[in-house]
Amino acid sequence: MISFDEARGALAESVAPLGPREVRLDEAQGLGLAREVRAAKDLPQAAVSGKDGFGVRAHDLAGASPAHPVELPVSGFLGAGDPKTARLGPGEAIALATGAFLPGGVDAVVAVEEVVAERGRAFFPGPVQPGENTIPRAASVGAGEVLAARGERLTPSLAALLAAAGVARVFAHPMPRVRILGVGDELRSLESGLDPGCIYPGNLLMVQGVLGGLGWHAEGMIVPDDEEAILGAVKGSLREAHSIITIGGTGLSGRDLTIRALGRARGSEVVPGVRMAPGRGTRVFVVDGALVFCLPGGPLSCLVGLYTLTLMGLSLLAGLREPPVRTLILRLAGEVAQEERNTLFLPAGPGEEPGTVKPMRLKSPLWPFPFLIQIGEGGSFLGPGEPVEALLLG
């Protein structure tokens, strides 16, 4: 077995991203960017109105007051996207929508709620400063400016920024196709009844749900505790998937046949077990160029192996700099003993004080909890107030 840090290092050295391709922006959401992305245009492309209102020459309103409002004729209306053809004459106003180009001569915008407008005339109750409620050209983004780095995940908000800056296509790595194999004679499909001693594949559903919540599609299937059946399922999955996740069959009993089947598939072991608890039975192989993650069958061990090494490996395949899960730095609301030869991953919940977290005693390993806190190897205690990494579970 190797340490948790060694396992992460071995995984990083063994995984290369899937080959990138150029894709349209609306088809790239959630993908890892293969190249940095630069703005194609200034944003905005010219000075625009920052509010719905009336464009004016600021000096025309110099003497305005509530008692003596300045009255100006309204020469027309411009909406966002209308061509910049109008020009404002002295002593005129023009109605503008938010985002409308500023016509020549306009150097300020008065918000619509501050103006009384009727019969083509507008009454202004006070002066305005030059530049007020206007947005200069390239105020948000300049053409050529780097907007996203290689390895960054294309989120909805980032996609919106790129589109606004004139970017229509990006180079991105495809999302890995994943096959999940739930191994065990006791497992039954949800369409089946349950005989004594049989269960539905809760671990498989959990893994599938976590990946789906992150935007990754993963198909699942149940495989019996049979070496030939496991080998056949692995080989069949290799024809369709970039990566395989097996659940169960990694222990030491005579019926734990997953590792033996992977050996027959000529798998090269990248992570031969990890000094972490729970989840030390987590192992990683490369079979015919595909990553195979072997997760233990215990619910908590399976979850730890998924959130620590499996999501890291899949993220590397997807060309992402880091897994798309949130890691927080919180303070302990209690005392935790380290283990000299194990990295601990403990179920935890929020402490009484803001920004704190405390380990939870679960009613059962299946019981949901919000955080998984990491306690590194060592021979001492971590006391109240000590900072810890906390994975926010989906």
What CA–CA distances, in Å, run from 388 to 338, 346, 369? 12, 11, 17
pLDDT at 364: 76
- The CA distance from 182 to 251, in Å, is 14
Q: Does residue 254 register a pLDDT over 70?
A: no
225 and 244 part of one domain: yes
Q: Between 329 and 85, name the one with better pLDDT.
A: 329
How high is the pLDDT of residue 255?
63
Average of pLDDT values for 286-308? 94
Determine which of 30-39, 83-92, 102-111, 175-184 has the lowest per-residue pLDDT on average. Answer: 83-92
Q: Which helix (H) or strand (E) holds 4?
A: helix 4-14
CATH number at residue 54: 2.170.190.11
pLDDT value, residue 252: 59
Q: Which helix (H) or strand (E) holds 305?
A: helix 299-305
Mean per-residue pLDDT over the chain, rounded: 93
- In this predicted structure, the answer to whether residue 230 has a pLDDT above a threshold of 90 is yes
Q: Are residues 77 and 194 in the same domain?
A: no
Residue 259 in tokens: 């590792």
Q: What is the mean pLDDT of residues 317-337?
A: 93
Considering the domain architecture, whether residues 148 and 269 belong to the same structural domain is answered as no
Average pLDDT over residues 296-311: 95
Asked whether the predicted pLDDT for residue 366 surpasses 90, the reply is: no
Domain with residue 289: its CATH number is 3.40.980.10
Per the DSSP assignment, residues forming a β-bridge with 291 are 243, 286
Does residue 244 form part of some domain?
A: yes
Cβ atoms 210, 306 nearer than 8 A = yes
Same domain, 257 and 378: no
Contact assessment for residue 325 and residue 394, using Cβ atoms and an 8 Å cutoff: yes
Domain interval for residue 29 = 21-39+142-173
pLDDT band of residue 41 (cuts 50, 70, 90) is: very high
Mean pLDDT of 267-281: 92
pLDDT above 80 for 121: yes
Rounded distance, CA 16 to CA 317, Å?
A: 6
State residue 250's pLDDT score: 76
* Residues 308 and 198 placed together within one structural domain of the fold: yes
Q: How many domains does the chain have?
A: 4
Residue 180 has pLDDT above 90, yes or no: yes
pLDDT at 164 over 80: yes
Of 84, 72, 9, the closest CA to residue 271 belongs to 9
The mean per-residue pLDDT over the stretch 75-89 comes to: 89
For 171, counting Cβ atoms within 10 Å of its Cβ (0-12 exposed, 13-18 middle, 19+ buried), the class is: middle
Any domain includes 322: no
Compute how many other C-beta atoms are within 10 angstroms of the C-beta atom of residue 239.
9
pLDDT band at residue 215 under the 50/70/90 scheme: confident
CA distances from 347 to 205, 279, 303, 367 (A): 19, 13, 10, 10
**In the predicted model, is pLDDT for residue 253 greater than 80?**
no
**Quick check: 84 pLDDT over 80?**
no
Statement to judge: residues 187 and 276 lie in one domain: yes
Percentage of the chain surpassing pLDDT 90?
85
165 in the same domain as 95: no
38 contacts 340 by C-beta, under 8 angstroms: no
Q: Which of 239, 237, 250 is nearest to 203 (CA)?
A: 250
Query: Between 46 and 394, whose confidence is greater?
Result: 46
What is the pLDDT at residue 130? 97
Q: Is the pLDDT of residue 153 over 90?
A: yes
Specify if 86 maps to a domain. yes
169 and 25 within one domain: yes
Q: Where is the domain boundary, 123, 153, 173?
A: 173
Residues 156 and 61 occupy one common structural domain:
no
Query: In this structure, are 257 and 351 located in the same domain?
Result: no
CATH of the domain at 163: 3.90.105.10
In a shared domain, residues 188 and 262: yes
Mean pLDDT of 288-314: 95
Same domain, 196 and 226: yes
